[in-house]
Amino acid sequence: MDTVQTQICIAGAGPAGLFTALFLEKYGIACTLVDKSFFPRDKICGDGISGWVVDVLEELDTDLLLRFHRQDFLLPSYGMRFSSPRGTVLDIPFLQERKIKEIPPGYIAPRKEFDNFFIEEIKNNAKYVQLLEGKEIVEVKEESDQMHIHCRDGLRIEAEVVVLAAGAMQPFQKVFSQYRADGSNTMLGLRTYYKGVKGLHPENYIELHFLKGLNPGYLWIFPQPDGRANVGVGVAKARVLKEKKSLKKILQEAIEQNAYLAKRFEDAEVVAPFGAHPLPLFYKKLPLSGNRFLLVGDSAGLIDPFTGEGIGHAALMGKFAAQTLQQAIRQHSFSAETLRQYDEQVYKTIDKELSISKKLPGILKHDWLFNLVADRVAGSPRLQDKLAKTLSNLDERKKLKNPWHYIKHIFR
Ligand SMILES: Cc1cc2nc3c(=O)[nH]c(=O)nc-3n(C[C@H](O)[C@H](O)[C@H](O)COP(=O)(O)OP(=O)(O)OC[C@H]3O[C@@H](n4cnc5c(N)ncnc54)[C@H](O)[C@@H]3O)c2cc1C
């Protein structure tokens, strides 16, 4: 049986594993990055790359960010389009100003190309990252003061610490995570690509439509660089189970039964297979680390419960994981106590944002309230400006926690 020995093993090379590896490379720390796939590989996703990712990339390496920015597979995005259950449509620009002027607030990028860009970076330029592709991990076990990572083909990796970054609902990670998926903390997402969708915003706004009969839950349209659009629905798992309707049917009916969307899709055509995948949503603060392990990205279950965004959190957690490991190496300890600083850093940064997002579906699940808010905002440039600031600034978003804040602004 083949054995690989390494100090740090990263299990999974999606955004969480990739950013952990890239930050470790920056700090000159060796690691082994393992994935079951050979790259490039697809990943079912909406392809929306938010400002969080750009912020983390900027901190990682501005040259890498500029090289990334020049890639043909990217579309810069400058705002967000919402529609309410009544059909009020709102276009809200992102107001974020970046240090590097040419860098936009966010992007849209097919995940196959997005993930592969960083894989290529590792293959071509990394000195400290050993990448193992096509290795499916079946079990991770702590044995005699080591982590043993067992792959389906018989390879065993012996590591002092393991970064669990293999995405949502992977059985071998369950032993380490207290996240338990149920109908209320899991969303099911279905994605396909269409060509010929009309009325896309000239500045490539990402679109979230909160439709009658779909709320809480939404339909998204994210334009692609080749003129196609990534289109999908995100619906609470409990609801899918209750209604016994396929996600494909939910998506098709949502388009057909909404006059605004039906018009925009009248000449559109599905050009890719439908693919579904669960989204583990944040529901409460759970431990993110323990003796000799860290949970990073979807393995930790920290997807934003309102927007479904997870790539930004995965990138940010990758940065904090690498920083924690750097500290742990200095302290010669991968104990639960040493690694706990990771939980503190992650929650200090995204807890506020996640708690707000956790409350929003509850507030906006009432169609009448959603309609009221959307109509007031649509009729008021002052409120539109306020919302643009809120979308671009966490301190402003914090105030949404308090429903009186809305009411005050809506009825002023
Ligand atoms: C339908 C849908 C739409 C979404 N849209 C968006 C969006 O627009 N924007 C956004 O920010 N987020 C979106 N998300 C969430 C986003 O896709 C995830 O949060 C993000 O991919 C998490 O990154 P990760 O690295 O933790 O996991 P992943 O991206 O899932 O990567 C995990 C990696 O681990 C590997 N792996 C899995 N099992 C094993 C194994 N046994 N052994 C070895 N390797 C393994 C996989 O091959 C993969 O490369 C969406 C999710 C879904 C399902």
pLDDT at 403 over 70: no
Which of 3.40.50.970, 3.30.9.100, 3.20.20.70, 3.30.70.3170 is the CATH number of 186-280?
A: 3.30.9.100
Q: Is the CB of 191 under 6 A from ligand 1?
A: yes
pLDDT of residue 404: 44
325 Cβ inside 6 Å of ligand 1:
no
Residue ID of nearest Cα to ligand 1 atom 30: 167
Ligand 1 centroid – CA 277 distance (Å):
9
Residue 248, pLDDT score: 96
Work out the pLDDT band at 399, boundaries 50, 70, 90: low
The residues with which 32 forms a beta bridge, in sequence order, are: 9, 130
> What does the alpha-carbon distance between residue 132 and residue 12 come to, in Å, rounded to a whole number?
10
Q: How far apart are CA 245 and CA 88, in angstroms?
A: 27
Residues near 184 by beta carbon (within 8 Å), at least 6 away in sequence: 236, 237, 238, 283
| Average pLDDT of the segment spanning 321-344 | 98
CATH code given to domain 3-77+110-181+282-357: 3.50.50.60
Give backbone dihedrals phi and psi of 83, rounded to 5 degrees, phi first: -135, 150
Tell me, what's the pLDDT at 274? Answer: 97
Task: Please tell me the predicted confidence (pLDDT) of residue 397.
Answer: 52
Main-chain dihedrals φ then ψ at residue 408, nearest 5 degrees? -60, -45
Q: Which tens digit of pLDDT belongs to each residue from 352-363?
A: 778 777 777 666
The tokens of 139 are what?
């079990």
Mean predicted confidence (pLDDT) in 118-132: 98
Q: Which residues pair with 210 in a beta bridge?
A: none
From 36, 54, 248, the mutation candidate for ligand 1 (largest count of ligand atoms within 8 A of CB) is 36
Residue 354 amino acid letter? L
Q: Which amino acid is at 102?
A: E
Q: Which residue minimizes the CA distance to atom 13 of ligand 1?
A: 309
Tell me: cis bond preceding 85? Omega within 30 of 0 counts.
no
* Residue 149, beta-bridge partner list: 140, 157
Q: Residue 289 has what pLDDT?
A: 98
* Cα–Cα distance measured from residue 359 to residue 2, given in angstroms and rounded to the nearest whole number: 49
Nearest-angstrom CA–CA distance, 286 and 174: 13
Mean pLDDT (the chain) is 90
d(CA 51, CA 105): 5
For residues 313 and 335, what is the distance between their CA atoms, to the nearest angstrom?
24
Give the Å distance between the CA of 5 and the centre of ligand 1: 26
Report which of residues 354 and 143 the model is more confident about: 143
Cα(4)–Cα(128) distance, integer angstroms: 15
Is residue 308 predicted with pLDDT exceeding 80? Answer: yes
Count, residues in the chain: 412
* Composition of the chain by helix, strand, coil, percent to 5: 40, 25, 35
Residue 310, ligand 1, Cβ within 6 A: yes
Residue-range domain boundaries for the chain:
3-77+110-181+282-357, 186-280, 363-410
Q: Assess whether the C-beta atom of 166 lies below 6 angstroms from ligand 1.
A: yes
